[in-house]
């Protein structure tokens, strides 16, 4: 398959043909080496839009001809194109690993991707993570291909009205002005992907967005052949009815896999970024069943071991659920293709398959269709094990098969010009493209003066940006001339700058600082040690309380005494986020503990020398030490009734007694020594730890490579091993309820227990199970698990055996309980079968 060379654009003059190649590669979103090209073409337009593809469509033919006569510019384009091609083809970190030939392709499925404001198909943190994942895959040379949707409208945009209330507008994503290309086949026809819907076929058009060496394919239902309602399926990110949402997820999972098949791309590993993509597990199994001649159930066993599911949800209410009626209405034609009944399909997404009223849970489908599941921080892994506990009844929570890979951010996207210079001098230009063992050590060698000058420059540039954006914001809102002029005077580049920016919703508590407004006013207006505050964020269009909090902040910061000390910047987007994480001195984060799965916004200030004040939730629960930042509250999960009041007091105490004094306490050279010590510790220790580089290498080594090997073992020989596993599971289902224990005999001697236990296995093969002795964690020690050895057959019993164990422990034998669990060397227990039997 190929992509068209151009779309809705006239031919470029000789010598400038390479501009198309450069403009279509979203690498310019983070690699600023090509900025000079777009600035030469139209500096103002580049600074306003950061969209090279739009500039290329907007520039006049006369301007292009003039540039073509500029030998210096032509050489610049030629040189950048040559460097670009060499980079795309060059070996990087992944190609140097011994397993690189075992892992040839990973498909990364996500409902949203936050790559650039030029491609607005993201909503928030989930999309930011997905975008950073693809960028890092390019940097490290990991063979990832992205799959998502191209929405006719992105997520809601925010306009602040005169009274401070949030108004919502939606902007049209014109494919001619965003950096995507139609995907065409070898004969030049636009590729078409089809999904069966009741009474009709849904046609999907694929587009390609280039992210360096990584391809991101986006599906679009806006094909004129489709009905008006079907054309609107990809109309709006997270918009429309529940049925539209279901259809979007069918497009992502089913359509996404079919697109890869049409392209000749055969991923070994599918990475599901949230449960939205779970339908891909069905389509992958369906395709293998067709190719191998196996049943769907055998194909399910063969392929699910190649699927990795990352959950981002900290509460069960966050999982997508669809009513059985809605499922039947939209998936009846597809279940016929799968060879399943509707009840069989619904059972894959239910806790109780026999409950005809239970909705279909996409997270349950994802977890059953995968052989590796992870949360996005250590704490979120613990939370997720509790959330998914019902799927593994009688298994200890600690053994629920959910691990964690703490999120990271693409540091090259978020670092400022000045921070980039400092890192480059300390650690080299390609510092984020390899393993990071020595990067912190090298950064520590930067002097206090270098760190402080970098921070001062970042703050100065940020203040200039805030003034510019605030003036535009007020002008667009028809503010008075005096108000617009005052916008050019807000903030002070020498003043401690606090930042708070995120989605405005109740659990994030964006109004926590506003709980004591007079105290906040005193902080902001202190003549000797002033503080300034920049707030940004939008509420979901249907979130009334969130909108109320937006209005409260806008009105508060418009008070006459605060107009120069604080700003609310409307329409929080990628461009604003980039400026904020570069410029603020301190990033504030105030979620209710365990409600934020990870929260990557605070990670983005690390590379720029910003510091964090946060509740010990998500990533900060792992990162926090007093040497690198500040912590609101503690790490308890006791649901304190006075939590908000206590956290307000804690936040103000930290600001008044630690943050503000440390920032303004200067030595003879004007340097804040204690503050800079924290910056150095934060930058050197936390930046590598919470980079997407570390995150992706963790996925590669602990998830992708094992999954690729396991799926190969299960799919060779037309799925022979998968068929064996299916038969093994069937045997377990037939015999499990008739397994039972005899009476355990215990002999104790000097702290050593010798235990003998009769076990009756009905007609089940003894090798199909393991017998264990288990003790829960307690004040006496951590959890313990000991394998019992199968011994002599029991006389007079059918398939009965004595199981023996010898353990040395200071704990009483009553702490230990025998259990039987399934066993097969190729199976993932308990993820693939959750049977367990405890001795009563």
Q: Is 456 helix (H, G, I), strand (E, B) or coil?
A: helix
Q: Are residues 321 and 418 in the same domain?
A: no
Would you give the DSSP letter of residue 151?
-
List all residues 6 or more positions away from 677 whose beta carbon is below 8 Å from its beta carbon: 627
Q: What are phi and psi of 839, to 5 degrees?
A: -70, 135
Confidence check: pLDDT of 9 > 60: no
Is residue 255 within 8 A of residue 204, CB to CB? The reply is yes
Which tokens hold the place of 792? 């002599």
Is residue 394 within 8 A of residue 838, CB to CB? The reply is yes
Confidence check: pLDDT of 279 > 60: yes
Which tokens hold the place of 684? 């050197």
Instruction: Tell me the DSSP string of 350-384.
Output: -SSTT-TTSPEEHHHHHHHT-SEEEESSHHHHHHH
576 sits in which H/E element:
helix 574-583
Instruction: Tell me the DSSP string of 412-445.
Output: HHH--HHHHHHHHHHH-TTGGGS--TTHHHHHTT
The pLDDT of residue 31: 86
Which tokens hold the place of 256? 């996404």
Q: Is residue 732 part of a domain?
A: no
* CA neighbor of 191 nearest in space, from 205, 180, 178, 202: 205
Q: Are residues 559 and 432 in the same domain?
A: yes
Q: Are residues 635 and 522 in the same domain?
A: yes
Which tokens hold the place of 629? 């930042």
Q: Are residues 793 and 654 in the same domain?
A: no
Q: Is 156 helix (H, G, I), strand (E, B) or coil?
A: coil
Q: Output the CA torsion sign for 478, 480, 486, 490.
A: negative
Per-residue pLDDT tens for 132-186?
Answer: 999 999 999 999 999 999 999 878 888 888 888 998 888 888 888 899 999 998 8
Beta strand ranges found along 43-180 (DSSP E): 106-109, 144-149, 157-160, 166-169
Instruction: Tell me how many degrees the CA angle 136-171-168 measures, rounded to the nearest 5.
Output: 105
d(CA 808, CA 755): 11
Per-residue pLDDT tens for 298-309?
Answer: 999 999 999 999
Q: Which of 690, 724, 747 is the last residue of a domain?
A: 690
Q: Are residues 358 and 478 in the same domain?
A: no
Count up the domains in the chain and report the number.
Answer: 4
d(CA 318, CA 130): 19
d(CA 6, CA 180): 10
Q: Is residue 698 part of a domain?
A: no
Domain extent at residue 682: 411-690
Q: Are residues 240 and 384 in the same domain?
A: yes
Q: Are residues 98 and 45 in the same domain?
A: no
CATH of residue 603:
3.40.50.2000
Q: Are residues 509 and 464 in the same domain?
A: yes
Q: Which of 65, 89, 113 is the last residue of a domain?
A: 89
Q: Is residue 424 part of a domain?
A: yes
Secondary structure tally for the chain: helices H, strands E: 30, 30
Which tokens hold the place of 357? 């009223």
Q: Are residues 190 and 291 in the same domain?
A: yes
Q: Angle, nearest 10°, between helix axes 324-338 and 242-250?
A: 20
Cβ count near 465 (within 10 Å): 18
The pLDDT of residue 532: 97
Q: Is residue 724 part of a domain?
A: no
The pLDDT of residue 10: 57
The pLDDT of residue 437: 87
The pLDDT of residue 781: 79
Q: Is residue 779 part of a domain?
A: yes
Q: Are residues 562 and 632 in the same domain?
A: yes
Per-residue pLDDT tens for 691-730?
Answer: 999 999 999 999 999 999 999 999 999 999 999 999 999 9
List all residues 6 or more positions away from 703 whose beta carbon is below 8 Å from its beta carbon: 269, 271, 308, 372, 374, 405
pTM: 0.95
Q: Are residues 467 and 609 in the same domain?
A: yes
d(CA 794, CA 760): 9
Q: Are residues 485 and 581 in the same domain?
A: yes
Beta strand ranges found along 604-744 (DSSP E): 611-615, 629-632, 740-741
Q: Which of 404, 429, 454 is the last residue of a domain?
A: 404
459 sits in which H/E element:
helix 448-476
CATH of residue 777:
2.60.40
The pLDDT of residue 6: 47
């Amino acid at each position: 398959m190929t992509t068209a060379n151009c779309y809705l654009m006239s031919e470029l003059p000789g010598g400038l043909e390479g501009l198309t190649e450069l403009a279509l590669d979203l690498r310019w979103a983070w690699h600023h080496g090509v900025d000079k090209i777009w600035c030469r073409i139209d500096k103002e337009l580049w600074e306003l839009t950061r969209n090279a593809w739009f500039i290329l469509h907007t520039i006049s033919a006369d301007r292009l001809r003039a540039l073509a006569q500029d030998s210096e510019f032509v050489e610049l384009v030629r040189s950048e194109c040559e460097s670009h091609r060499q980079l795309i083809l060059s070996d990087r970190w992944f190609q140097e690993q011994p397993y690189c030939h075992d892992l040839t392709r990973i498909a990364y499925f996500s409902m949203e991707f936050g790559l650039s404001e030029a491609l607005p198909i993201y909503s928030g943190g989930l999309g930011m993570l997905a975008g950073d994942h693809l960028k890092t895959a390019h940097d490290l040379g990991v063979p990832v291909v992205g799959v998502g949707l191209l929405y006719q409208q992105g997520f809601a945009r925010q306009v602040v009205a005169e009274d401070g209330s949030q108004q919502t507008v939606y902007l049209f994503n014109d494919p001619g002005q965003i950096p995507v290309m139609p995907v065409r086949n070898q004969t030049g026809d636009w590729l078409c992907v089809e999904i069966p819907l009741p009474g009709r076929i849904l046609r999907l058009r694929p587009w390609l967005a280039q992210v360096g060496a990584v391809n991101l394919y986006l599906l679009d239902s806006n094909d004129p052949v489709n009905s008006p309602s079907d054309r609107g399926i990809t109309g709006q990110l997270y918009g429309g009815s529940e049925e539209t949402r279901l259809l979007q997820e069918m497009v992502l999972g089913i359509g996404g896999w079919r697109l890869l098949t049409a392209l000749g791309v055969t991923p070994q590993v599918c990475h599901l970024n949230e449960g939205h993509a779970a339908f891909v597990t069905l389509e992958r199994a369906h395709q293998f069943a067709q190719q191998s001649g196996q049943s769907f159930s055998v194909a399910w066993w063969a392929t699910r071991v190649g699927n990795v599911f990352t959950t981002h949800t900290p509460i069960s209410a966050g999982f997508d659920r669809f009513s059985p009626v809605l499922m039947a209405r939209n998936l009846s034609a597809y279940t016929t293709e799968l060879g399943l009944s509707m009840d069989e399909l619904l059972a894959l997404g239910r806790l109780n398959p026999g409950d005809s009223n239970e909705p279909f849970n996409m997270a349950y489908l994802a977890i059953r269709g995968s052989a590796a599941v992870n949360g996005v921080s250590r704490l979120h892994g613990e939370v997720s094990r509790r959330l998914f506990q019902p799927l593994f009844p009688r298994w200890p929570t600690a053994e629920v098969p959910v691990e964690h890979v703490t999120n990271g951010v693409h540091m090259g996207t978020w670092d400022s010009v000045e921070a980039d210079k400092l890192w480059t001098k300390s650690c080299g230009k390609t510092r984020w493209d390899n393993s990071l063992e020595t990067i912190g050590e090298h950064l520590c060698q930067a002097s206090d003066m270098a760190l402080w000058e970098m921070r001062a420059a970042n703050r100065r540039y940020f203040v200039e940006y805030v003034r510019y954006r605030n003036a535009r914001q007020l002008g667009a809102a028809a503010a008075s001339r005096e108000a617009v002029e005052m916008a050019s005077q807000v903030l002070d580049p020498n003043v401690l700058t606090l930042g708070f920016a995120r989605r405005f919703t109740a659990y994030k508590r964006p109004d926590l600082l506003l709980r004591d407004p007079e105290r906040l006013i005193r902080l902001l207006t202190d003549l000797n040690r002033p503080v300034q505050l920049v707030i940004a964020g939008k509420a979901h269009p249907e979130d009334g309380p969130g909108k109320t909090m937006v209005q409260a902040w806008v009105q508060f910061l418009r008070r006459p005494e605060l107009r120069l000390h604080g700003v609310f910047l409307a329409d929080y987007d990628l461009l604003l986020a980039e400026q904020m994480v570069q410029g603020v001195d301190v990033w504030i984060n105030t979620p209710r503990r365990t409600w934020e799965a990870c929260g990557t916004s605070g990670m983005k200030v690390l590379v720029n020398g910003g510091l964090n004040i946060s509740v010990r939730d998500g990533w900060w629960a792992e990162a926090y030490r007093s040497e690198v930042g500040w912590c609101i509250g503690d790490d308890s999960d006791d649901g304190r009734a006075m939590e908000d009041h206590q956290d307000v007091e804690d936040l103000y105490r930290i600001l008044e007694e630690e943050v503000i004094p440390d920032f303004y306490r200067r030595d003879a050279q004007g340097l804040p020594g204690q503050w800079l010590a924290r910056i150095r510790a934060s930058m050197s220790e936390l930046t590598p730890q919470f980079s997407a580089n570390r995150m992706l290498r963790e996925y590669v080594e602990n998830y992708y490579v094992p999954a690729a090997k396991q799926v190969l073992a299960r799919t060779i020989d037309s799925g022979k091993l998968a068929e064996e596993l299916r038969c093994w599971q069937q045997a377990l289902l037939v015999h499990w309820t008739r397994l039972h224990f005899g009476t355990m005999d215990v002999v104790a001697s000097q702290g050593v227990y010798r235990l003998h236990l009769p076990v009756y296995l009905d007609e089940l093969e003894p090798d199909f199970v393991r017998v264990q002795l288990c003790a829960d964690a307690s004040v006496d020690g951590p959890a313990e698990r000991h394998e019992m050895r199968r011994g002599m057959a029991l006389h007079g019993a059918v398939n009965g055996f004595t199981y023996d164990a010898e353990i040395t422990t200071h704990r009483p034998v009553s702490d230990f309980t025998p259990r039987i669990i399934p066993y097969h060397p190729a199976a993932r227990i308990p993820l693939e079968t959750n049977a367990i039997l405890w001795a009563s």
